[in-house]
Amino acid sequence: MDLSTAVTGAADWERGLCAERDTIAVVAARAAPQAFWPLDRGWGRIWLERIRPMMPPVLALDALAARVPDGAMVALPPDNSLCPTELVRALIRRGVRNLHMLGVPVSGFATDLLIGAGAVAKLTTSAVTLGEAGFAPRFTAAMKAGSLPITDATCPAVHTGLQAAEKGVPFMPLRGLIGSDLIAARNDWRVIDNPFSDTPDPIVLVPAIMPDVALIHAVCADRRGNVWVGRRRELATIAHAARTTLVTVEHLVDGDLTEDEHMAPGTIGSLYVSAVAVAARGAWPLGLLDHYGADQPHLDAYAREARTDEGFAAYLAAHVLARRAKAAE
């Protein structure tokens, strides 16, 4: 691919999915990096002065949390799929408010913490659970009090909406919702007749879901901002669909993950990553792939303690707010 072809293709792409994410120069550089070297080609200077500084920065955890604005739609993966719990604790310490949480496709411990901390204004998800620890206590209390608006979805519907945003289309069809009572409750879903069928064939159109922010915790990222998520490829869909993707990692690695034959298939390219922070054991008390398991006794204790307002306040003081004081020492 020559440079002119790369720039033309990048311009078309940027007007679609990348309108708010990247510049033509960045996409062109990644499409035809050989055209930018050696440095005496002029484009080398563009790389050094304009493109390289646009690579995802490595920030302190609190600086990463500061990039989540109040009122944002925030996508979180489930408890068993690289959930950024340490970043969620940082958001609570920051005092974030009025979030619209999106469970991808279900919500768990981290979302329950945010609900209890008063950070969530509404929730879209297909389930809220602590798994083996039982019901999510702060979510349950909010439902009983009628204080948290919730939009019911299904797992396939959430993924389908994100895939539509990923592809830059306004909606995608999904057949499995036919017959569900959710259709009557979701006025943003549309049932149409399949235009390619000669016989009646209803199908549901699910609108694109484009989160303002996606939050992920991963094992590692390289210094160019490429993030390894392993076989959890649904996280790539979240990153592709979101306007901003913020990632915490256990550690940084040298080299380029996209050039490693074994690591590249499980890597989200830096084009879709906005910023990175290092947070060791950043999923705790949840597990992280094969690196460490969930702290089930801690989750069980949370499920018991957080059933009451007083118990949750004590948990928050001991395990979330106390970390700020410890960091200041």
**What is the per-residue pLDDT across 241-283, written as a single tens digit (0 to 9) for each?**
999 999 999 999 999 999 999 999 999 999 999 999 999 999 9
Cβ contact 122:148 at 8 Å: yes
Sheet-wide strand order for 190-193: 171-174, 202-207, 190-193
User: Over 60: is that where the pLDDT of 38 sits?
Assistant: no
pLDDT of residue 42: 54
Q: Which of 119, 127, 130, 125 is nearest to 79 (CA)?
A: 130
Cβ contact 114:92 at 8 Å: yes
User: Over 70: is that where the pLDDT of 161 sits?
Assistant: yes
Q: What percent of the chain is modeled with pLDDT above 90?
A: 81
Mean pLDDT over all residues of the chain? 87
Go through 55-70 and write b for each residue having 16 or more CB atoms within 10 A of its CB, e for each that does not. Answer: bbebbebeebbeebee
Distance CA 274, CA 244 (A): 6
pLDDT of residue 55: 87
For residues 224-252, average pLDDT = 96
User: Over 70: is that where the pLDDT of 296 sits?
Assistant: yes
Indicate the Cα dihedral angle 22, 105, 219, 261, nearest 10°. -70
User: Over 50: is that where the pLDDT of 137 sits?
Assistant: yes
Helix (H) or strand (E) holding 105: none
Distance CA 227, CA 175 (A): 33
For residues 44-54, average pLDDT = 52
- Sequence spans of domains, the chain: 3-54, 59-153+211-311, 173-205
Q: Which pLDDT band holds residue 50 (cuts at 50, 70, 90)?
A: low
Residue, of 213 and 12, whose pLDDT is higher? 213
Q: Bridge-partner residues for 225, per DSSP?
A: none
User: Over 50: is that where the pLDDT of 7 sits?
Assistant: no
* pTM reported for the whole predicted model: 0.84
pLDDT of residue 54: 67
Cβ contact 125:105 at 8 Å: yes
Distance CA 80, CA 231 (A): 12
CATH class of 59-153+211-311: alpha beta
pLDDT of residue 158: 98
- Which tokens is 105 given? 């496709």
- Which tokens is 68 given? 């989540």
pLDDT of residue 193: 96
Distance CA 143, CA 308 (A): 14
User: Over 80: is that where the pLDDT of 218 sits?
Assistant: yes
Each residue of 171-209: pLDDT tens digit? Answer: 999 999 999 999 999 999 999 999 999 999 999 999 999
Q: Which pLDDT band holds residue 322 (cuts at 50, 70, 90)?
A: confident
